[in-house]
């Protein structure tokens, strides 16, 4: 039995980690931190976890609490993990960071996109970008894994096969994405209150969204070709879910049938990706680690349309982290991860 810890277990992704780990046969949660909730029982904050964790208590973060753990999941706001990881990395088996602190390789990118200097830039070169479907071999045995973000996962998976096959231009890609409110995190914000979100769809992060360099970096690494994207997310009145619609200019003769074949070739063997000729929906992936994807080619305008849906808290965060941990510790990759969505 692997012993794991969760840093930041009082937020949405931390709570989702706790939920998913209840069904994992090889992991035992030994410690969960939440500085603002220290001393409070987990089930007092999340009654949905009462039967699973009747005695688990949130603790204030102390590095020594992590000593000897097989894996630590960091479910912390941006900027916090980079101050903690150097203190615990040598004393734990693996760290899987759900945040963005170790996803970008260039320290200057954190200045440009996050408006802050990275606290430990020397760690960036050796961190592993945790998108299993594209970088599985690199993840195996990885010590510090930066799990892919929710918006980035949907966007990257929608485009990677087509860029690798060089059937679309790599520098004129447009991504329009719709996400549920939980993607903004648990702390209340003016734009995530009920009255702000209900019956309203709002674009945000116009031209400056922080997932843009992550998307470009991963696609460029995977396709071995410089990639540029125009990424525009929208906040929608739903708790969970992401749908990304990506557009690319076709460079060669390409039909819808061929585009679907490319997706089957790329993802047909993947346990969590369903390739379909039908348009995917966010509800179909609710509560699961599944990704649903389809594609179309508009021959009139020579444009590829690739559409992906996933649950932003599972495949886009906590499920992604567990999948990475399974691979890193050479455990069956699918353990503890649901493939069926909730319906209705």
Angle (deg, nearest 10), helices 150-164 and 256-267:
110
Q: How far apart are CA 85 and CA 315, in angstroms?
A: 23
What dotted CATH number matches 151-311? 3.30.360.10
Q: How far apart are CA 319 and CA 58, in angstroms?
A: 21
pLDDT band of residue 189 (cuts 50, 70, 90) is confident
pLDDT band of residue 191 (cuts 50, 70, 90) is confident
pLDDT band of residue 131 (cuts 50, 70, 90) is very high
Start-to-end CA span in the chain (Å): 35
Alpha-helical regions (H) of 224-335? 256-267, 319-328
Asked if the bond preceding 344 is cis, omega within 30° of 0, the reply is yes
Q: What is the mean pLDDT of residues 317-331?
A: 98
Alpha-carbon dihedral of residues 281, 283, 289, 292, nearest 10 degrees? -10
What dotted CATH number matches 2-148+315-328? 3.40.50.720
> What's the chain's average pLDDT?
96
Is 150 considered catalytic here?
yes
pLDDT of residue 187: 82
* DSSP 8-state secondary structure symbol assigned to residue 91: G
What the block records as the tokens of 325 is: 């941990």
What the block records as the tokens of 162 is: 């087509």
pLDDT of residue 70: 98
Name beta bridge partners: 305: 247, 296
Q: How far apart are CA 344 and CA 326, in angstroms?
A: 30
pLDDT band of residue 276 (cuts 50, 70, 90) is very high
The domain limits of the chain are 2-148+315-328, 151-311
pLDDT band of residue 211 (cuts 50, 70, 90) is very high
Task: Select which of 74, 120, 150, 195 is catalytic.
Answer: 150
Q: How far apart are CA 333 and CA 199, in angstroms?
A: 39
Judge if 2-148+315-328 and 151-311 fold alike in CATH terms.
no
What the block records as the tokens of 324 is: 């990475």
* pTM as predicted: 0.97
Q: How far apart are CA 209 and CA 192, in angstroms?
A: 17
In terms of phi and psi (left: phi > 0; alpha: psi -120 to 50; beta: otherwise), the region of 138 is alpha
Nearest 5°: the CA angle 296, 158, 297 is 15
Nearest to 238 by CA among 295, 279, 180: 180
What digits encode the pLDDT tens for the residues 7-36? 999 999 999 999 999 999 999 999 999 988
Q: How far apart are CA 93 and CA 104, in angstroms?
A: 22
Q: What is the mean pLDDT of residues 175-204?
A: 90
pLDDT band of residue 129 (cuts 50, 70, 90) is very high
């Amino acid at each position: 039995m692997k012993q794991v810890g969760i840093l930041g277990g009082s937020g949405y992704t931390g709570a989702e980690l706790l939920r998913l780990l209840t069904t994992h046969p090889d992991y035992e949660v030994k410690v969960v931190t939440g500085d603002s909730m220290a001393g409070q029982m987990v089930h007092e904050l999340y009654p949905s976890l009462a039967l699973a964790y009747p005695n688990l208590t949130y603790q204030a973060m102390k590095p020594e609490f992590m000593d000897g753990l097989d894996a630590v999941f960091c479910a912390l706001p941006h900027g916090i993990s980079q101050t903690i990881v150097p203190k615990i990395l040598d004393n734990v088996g693996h760290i899987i960071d759900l945040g963005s602190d170790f996803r970008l390789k260039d320290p200057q990118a954190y200045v440009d996109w996050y408006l802050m200097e990275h606290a430990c830039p020397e760690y960036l070169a050796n961190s592993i970008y945790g998108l299993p479907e594209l970088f599985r071999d690199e993840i195996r045995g990885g010590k510090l894994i930066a799990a892919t973000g929710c918006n980035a996962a949907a966007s990257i998976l929608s485009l990677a096969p087509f860029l690798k096959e060089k059937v679309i231009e790599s520098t004129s890609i447009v991504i329009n994405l719709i996400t549920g409110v939980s993607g903004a995190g648990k702390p209340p914000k003016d734009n995530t209150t009920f009255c702000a979100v209900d019956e309203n769809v709002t674009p945000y992060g116009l031209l400056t969204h922080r997932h843009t360099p992550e998307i470009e970096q991963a696609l460029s690494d995977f396709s071995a070709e410089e990639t540029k994207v125009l990424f525009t997310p929208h906040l929608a009145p739903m708790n969970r879910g992401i749908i990304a619609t990506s557009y690319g200019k076709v460079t060669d003769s390409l039909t819808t049938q061929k585009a679907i074949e490319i997706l089957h070739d790329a993802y047909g063997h993947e346990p969590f990706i369903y390739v379909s000729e039908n348009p995917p929906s966010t509800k179909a992936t609710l509560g699961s680690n599944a990704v649903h994807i389809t594609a179309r080619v508009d021959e009139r305008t020579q444009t590829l349309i690739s559409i992906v849906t996933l649950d932003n808290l599972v495949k886009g965060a906590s499920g992604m982290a567990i999948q990475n941990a399974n691979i890193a510790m050479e455990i069956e990759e699918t353990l503890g991860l649901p493939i069926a969505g909730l319906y209705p």
